[in-house]
Structure 1
Amino acid sequence: MLAAFVSAPAPKDPLSALEVGDRPGPEVPDGWTTVQVKAVSLNHHDLFSLQGIGLPAERMPMVLGTDAAGLDEDGNEVVVHGVVSTPGWTGDETLDPKRSLFSELHQGTMAEQVAVPRRNLLPKPAELSFAEAACLPTAWLTAYRMLFVRSGLRPGSTILVQGASGGVATALIRLGSVAGYRVWVTGRSEEKRTAALALGADQVFETGARLPERVDGVMETVGEATWSHSIKSLKPGGVVVTCGATTGFNPGAELNRVFFTQLSVIGSTMGTREELDDLIRMCRITGVRPQIDVEVPLAEAREGFERMLEGRTAGKIVFTL
């Protein structure tokens, strides 16, 4: 079957490790099933996998991809929840210490067919295209959990989204604006800031700019490059929710500001199956849809990876089959 995969890590040149070609069909353990993939979205996790971050060489070859939408064995349209918990785990899957994402322990979703636990399938509503649905289980679910589950912020609060064009950032802008938050956004270019306004941002600023006033919460996906600005942008008692660090994991400490102004630093990762179900329902009810940058056939996956690596994104990059 056609797949995008990695056979050996390339820490310095991740695109050199990307392979697109034939792979064996999936093995199906007990309690699992197969999905005929129609669309899969690209995430920074996939670039990290090419570098060997979180994916040691002994687990390769590994098909990439953490989320997908497609058809189950009975022909039903489904969305694949990307968090794989251990057998018998109950409760919040993201708190399972042995949880994984597709393409970590189990072959990923960037293939014509993928094996998944039956419990990881949710119905895809007809209102969502396969491409739109494929954006939800990773980036959009991450944003949903950050904003509505972990932040503790209510509609009417002012939030700052660091970065204007990535998958999680565009999801935060859309979800926050629809839900009644005042959304401020930073972006590196005028083009990206203008795009954020079109998505629903109230105000946009250059990266690192001094804000008109401090905010109630900051949604952090960037890491080292923006961390100091995030902490300095918060009101006393404010909260920063962090889900990743695409520019590095070594933030400036700013500990004096954290304790003196009683700030909260909250970690957030992915989301539960129930939260994904809520997100899908929210998309149906409100009409909000993922911002898709480009749709590219999986056979041409390198183009999408190049766009992400170079930062030429304006929403989600989706591979179609």
Structure 2
Amino acid sequence: MLAATAISQSATDPLSGLVLRDVPVPEPKPGWSRVRVVAAALNMHDLWTLRGVGHPPERLPVVLGCDAAGYDDDGNEVIVHPVIGDPDAGRGDETLDPDRALLSERHDGSFAEYLVVPTRNLVPKPAWLSFDEAASLPVAWTTAYRMLFTQARITAGDRVLVQGAGGGVASAAIKLAVAAGAVVYTTSRSADKRAEALTWGARAAVPTGERLPERVDVVIETVGEATWSHSLKSLRPGGTVVVAGATSGTNPPADLGRIFYLQQRVLGSTGCTRAELVAMLRLLEATGVRPVIDRTLPLTDIHKGFQLMIDGSLTGKLVIHPPAHRPETGPSSEERA
């Protein structure tokens, strides 16, 4: 089967380590299931792996891809929950399991014709979701859901700032917060992305760093160093910043004086539980909210997809389509890129 595999890492030329090649179809071990992938989606996590951030080189080669929707071996339409962990080890929350792993960290991921995951990680795909929509949800949308509803516990009428409109998590956070009745503000350096955010229901979209019309109750922060100071200054006394990423850097000025004097709360958030994915599906069904998909590409064009992500040219998710099922003729050593 065809798979997009990380074989090396480079901070300056990440795509040099990404190859398309034929690999054996995986066989599920007891308690695991095989999925024929219909759609997968790109995430920044994939790019960090290629850059050598948070992924030890001794775990290479590995098939990339954290998001997937497709069919199990019984023909059921499924969404793959991407956090592979033990809920019991995390007091009922697999994201707190110290030994947890996101798909493609220790186990081959979804940029392939097939993948295998623990059977527990399969969630029935609702008929009202397309495969492309379903594949856009597991990482970005559930990350946003956990940030908003589990960590920040937003309610209708809350003021929410989402930094960096256009990214996968940010676009999800805007749409989910609007659906929950929040007043949403967002920022971006791109005028086009600010305009797009307004169509999703944001009350205002301002250039990065610009003052908001009012202080907010919650900030959804995935940008990091470039927006951190603005996040704290935009937050009301007693408000909450939820952090689930730092694409611009992980070492912002702490500004501890502001945090303790204004009693602001800073909460970390990572991934989601299977139960949160199921709960989010109920929310999408009830509200009609759907993920933002920038475009789709065949697996053979995955290098182009990564370059679009590197260039910051995407608004929402980029969905990858593996080849349609074909008879297996055995693995080949030929690398196609």
**TM-score band, normalised by shorter chain:** over 0.9
> Partners in 2 of 1:118 and 1:9 — Cα distance?
31
> What corresponds to 1:284 in structure 2?
285
Alignment of 1:38-117 (within 5 A): 38-86=38-86, 89=89, 91-117=92-118
- CA separation of 1:281 and 1:87: change in aligned 2, threshold 3 A: closer
Bigger Cα displacement from structure 2, 130-139 vs 12-21? 12-21
> What corresponds to 2:123 in structure 1?
122
Task: State the secondary structure of the residue aligned to 1:156.
Answer: coil
> Partners in 1 of 2:146 and 2:169 — Cα distance?
11
Quick check: 1:304 aligned with 2:315? no
Alignment of 1:186-265 (within 5 A): 186-265=187-266
Summarize deviations over 1:141-182 as a string: whole Å, max 9, x none.
000000011003221010000011000000011111111000
- CA separation of 1:27 and 1:88: change in aligned 2, threshold 3 A: farther
Task: State the secondary structure of the residue aligned to 2:230.
Answer: helix
Summarize deviations over 1:160-215 as a string: whole Å, max 9, x none.
00011000000011111111000000011111100100111111111000112211
Quick check: 1:182 aligned with 2:187? no
- Report the aligned-residue RMSD: 1.2
Summarize deviations over 1:112-157 as a string: whole Å, max 9, x none.
0001000000000111000100111100000000001100322101
> Partners in 2 of 1:50 and 1:137 — Cα distance?
20
Task: State the secondary structure of the residue aligned to 2:192.
Answer: helix
Task: State the secondary structure of the residue aligned to 1:225.
Answer: helix
Summarize deviations over 1:22-73 as a string: whole Å, max 9, x none.
1222242221010000001100000001012222221111000112000001
> Partners in 2 of 1:141 and 1:128 — Cα distance?
15
TM-score when scaled to structure 1?
0.98
Which runs of 5 or more structure 1 residues have no equivalent in the other structure?
none
Bigger Cα displacement from structure 2, 150-159 vs 75-84? 150-159
> What corresponds to 1:149 in structure 2?
150
- CA separation of 1:80 and 1:209: change in aligned 2, threshold 3 A: same
Deviation at 1:86, TM superposition (A): 4.0
Summarize deviations over 1:225-244 as a string: whole Å, max 9, x none.
10111011100001000000
Bigger Cα displacement from structure 2, 113-122 vs 19-28? 19-28
- 8 Å Cα contact 2:188/2:207 also seen in 1: yes
> What corresponds to 2:325 in structure 1?
none
The one-letter amino acid paired with 1:70 is G
- 8 Å Cα contact 1:83/1:99 also seen in 2: yes
Runs of 4+ residues deviating >3 angstroms: 86-90
Task: State the secondary structure of the residue aligned to 1:247.
Answer: coil
> What corresponds to 1:320 in structure 2?
321
> Partners in 1 of 2:108 and 2:263 — Cα distance?
43
- 8 Å Cα contact 2:8/2:16 also seen in 1: no
- 8 Å Cα contact 2:27/2:34 also seen in 1: no
The one-letter amino acid paired with 1:208 is G
> Partners in 2 of 1:211 and 1:144 — Cα distance?
23
- 8 Å Cα contact 1:54/1:104 also seen in 2: no
- 8 Å Cα contact 1:159/1:218 also seen in 2: yes
Bigger Cα displacement from structure 2, 17-26 vs 147-156? 17-26
Task: Give the share of equivalent positions with the same residue, in percent.
Answer: 55
Task: State the secondary structure of the residue aligned to 2:226.
Answer: coil
Deviation at 1:19, TM superposition (A): 1.2
> What corresponds to 2:172 in structure 1?
171
Which runs of 5 or more structure 2 residues have no equivalent in the other structure?
323-337
